[in-house]
Chains A and B, each alone.
Chain A
Amino acid sequence: MRRALLIAVPYVWLLALFLVPFFIVLKISLSDSVLAIPPYAPKLDLSQGWAGIREFFAALDLENFVWLTEDALYWKAYLSSVKIALISTILTLIVGYPIAYGMARAPVEWRPTLMMLVILPFWTSFLIRVYAWMGILSNEGFLNQFLLWTGIIAEPLTILNTQKAVYIGIVYTYLPFMILPIYSALERMDESLIEAAEDLGCSRVQAFWLVTIPLSRPGIIAGCFLVMIPVIGEFVIPSLLGGSGTLMIGKVLWEEFFANRDWPVASAVAVVLLLILVIPIVLFQRNQQKQTEAEQ
């Protein structure tokens, strides 16, 4: 009885506030937009029973979804979000892996401190960390001041309000998500395996590629998913650092909802975004479940 209650309370909470809302989004994405409050005309009328449902399917025209394919803005935004997410995931991996590796090879008594140093920025407000880069990357910002002072460049670089700034912002804010899973995989690794590989004639580089990388693979996979999936729908970074030239679907959805007040189209954008994300999310869950079971 008590066990049933323990299961039921969080279960029902998540059903009501996580799963059901998605169906509402789906329903509204099939509605017509009108100038009213709320600004949509529902098509599905359950109060009429079966007749209402039959009428709904007869009149189903998917016009909001057709609209998404007709206006180039939307599919360009989806494509460029996926592209930005893939490239920035690779960049985060390239920056994060050496840090995780260095942490896992550091003296044992340093590790808790290093770990805390990685986690601390993660606890600090996301918004503030993105904001910090606005002052660094602008034309008269610190990076340009520094580069001009060293004489590397003669003219200030334009970085803020371009995609470069978006990549820098993503790598910076999502770095802890990449470092921590890789670090925990590397830390568990038995270092004598490297010695064995070297004894058997591997060079250090070969041993790294053939032993260390495969053994840290679960961490790499988890880190990449943790960065890539949320970045596809990212809103704050492109809107503060990306300028008008950066097209990302999270920003489009936001503007469709808050500026144009077109709820049905915003919902259709969300439904398509979710369809794009279903595959990576399922793969991520599989990976996590396998990890948990391996630990047990």
Chain B
Amino acid sequence: MNRLSWFNAVSLTLGFAFLYIPMIILIIFSFNESKLVTVWAGFSTKWYGELLQNEAFLDAAWVTVRVAVFSSTLATILGTAAAYVLVRGGRFFGRTLFSGMIYAPLVMPEVITGLSLLLLFIGIGLDRGILTIVLAHTTFSMCFVSVVVSSRLVTFDRSLEEAALDLGCSAAQAFRLVTLPIIAPAVISGWLLAFTLSLDDLVIASFTSGPSATTLPIKIFSAVRLGVSPEINALSTLMIAVVTVGVITASLVTKRAMMRQKQDEMAAARAE
């Protein structure tokens, strides 16, 4: 079927309208002159100006970015290792427990993860701050990375690795020269996923942060509890813009990488 039936066309239109209209309204009203967020009073960018002068928000944003960079990088390394072990590791002692610990955090309510990590940090006497948030974020986002990477690992042709080993590569060389380039798009999207999960997180960060380290979502949450404000709309618009540009760039990059890979594979097939 190459043509969209009317039923599918309607459900797609309504579905995407539902997904996007709230955010579009939010973005439009960030440019509203009035402090009343539901009444349009003319175009203005003054809320963006006020936002850039708000030291508390800027500080929180800087903490959030640092936490996200560290935790997503750590999570990518650990998560890729975990995925490799799960898919290629064969049987080892406690494998069921291991895969359980990978899948459980995906659905674990954040209040439980947050509370349990906080009690651990207090138990071992670790001061709450950036370090504890990084540890907490790494723990749950490495599981997401591992799911993304393992879904790429299961689909790729294992004989490529075996060929590299036959041709004299060590296991480490085979991983670096063959496996890693092939799973690279998945590793990159895993990193991006971990990065945004960390940027977004409110609940776990609230439990594991101390007074010295307030992240942006914690700041936004305490502001939003008092009601809707145009300044928060402006901040939300900026965050949506960053994510949109990031996701589109990433998808273009991975698309190009995959196309190049396909061309290489075809060239190799012709050479045979």
Contacts and interface: CB of A to CB of B under 8 A. Distances in A.
Interface of A: 2-3, 6-7, 9-11, 13-15, 17-22, 24-25, 28, 38, 95, 98-99, 101-103, 105-107, 112, 114, 116-121, 123-129, 131-136, 138, 140-142, 145, 172, 175, 191, 225-226, 229-230, 232-236, 239-240, 250, 253-254, 257-258, 263, 266-267, 270, 273-274, 277, 280-281, 284-285, 288-289, 292, 295-296
B253 interface: no
A121 B139 contact: no
Given A14-B101, A132-B25, A274 B217 contact: no
Given A17-B138, A131-B26, 4 more contacts: A6-B84, A14-B139, A131-B236, A235-B109
B199 interface: yes
A11 to B, nearest CB: 6
B230 to A, nearest CB: 10
A41 B172 CA distance: 50
A24 B124 CA distance: 11
Interface residues of B, number: 91
A99 B23 CA distance: 19
B109 A232 contact: yes
Given A19-B101, A99-B11, A233 B240 contact: no
A140 B38 contact: yes
A226 B104 CA distance: 11
Contacts of A263: 119
Interface stretch (B50-58, B91-99, B161-169, B260-268): B91-99
Contacts, number: 249
Contacts of A296: 154
Contact of B12 (A99, A120, A135): A99
Contacts of B211: none
A127 B221 contact: yes
A102 to B, nearest CB: 4
Interface in B57-116: 78-79, 81-82, 84-85, 89, 92, 94, 98-112, 115-116
B12 A103 contact: yes
Nearest to A106: B4
17 contacts: A13-B138, A17-B139, A18-B139, A21-B120, A98-B8, A102-B15, A120-B247, A121-B20, A123-B246, A128-B220, A131-B220, A132-B26, A229-B107, A233-B110, A270-B111, A277-B109, A281-B108
Interface in B217-248: 217, 220-221, 224-225, 227-228, 232, 236, 239-240, 243-244, 246-248
Given A123-B196, A124-B243, A135 B228 contact: yes
A254 B119 contact: no
Contacts of B142: 10, 13-14
Given A21-B120, A114-B12, A281-B104, A2 B247 contact: no
A123 B247 contact: yes
B203 A119 contact: no
A15 B97 CA distance: 10
Contacts of B37: 135
Contacts of A11: 94, 98
B19 interface: yes
Given A21-B119, A141-B38, A250-B111, A15 B11 contact: no
Contact of A131 (B18, B104, B123, B228): B228
B183 interface: no
B117 interface: yes
B243 to A, nearest CB: 5
B119 A25 contact: yes
Contacts of B228: 131, 134-135, 138
Contact of B25 (A9, A107, A142, A253): A142
A127 B8 contact: no
A116 to B, nearest CB: 6
B15 A95 contact: yes
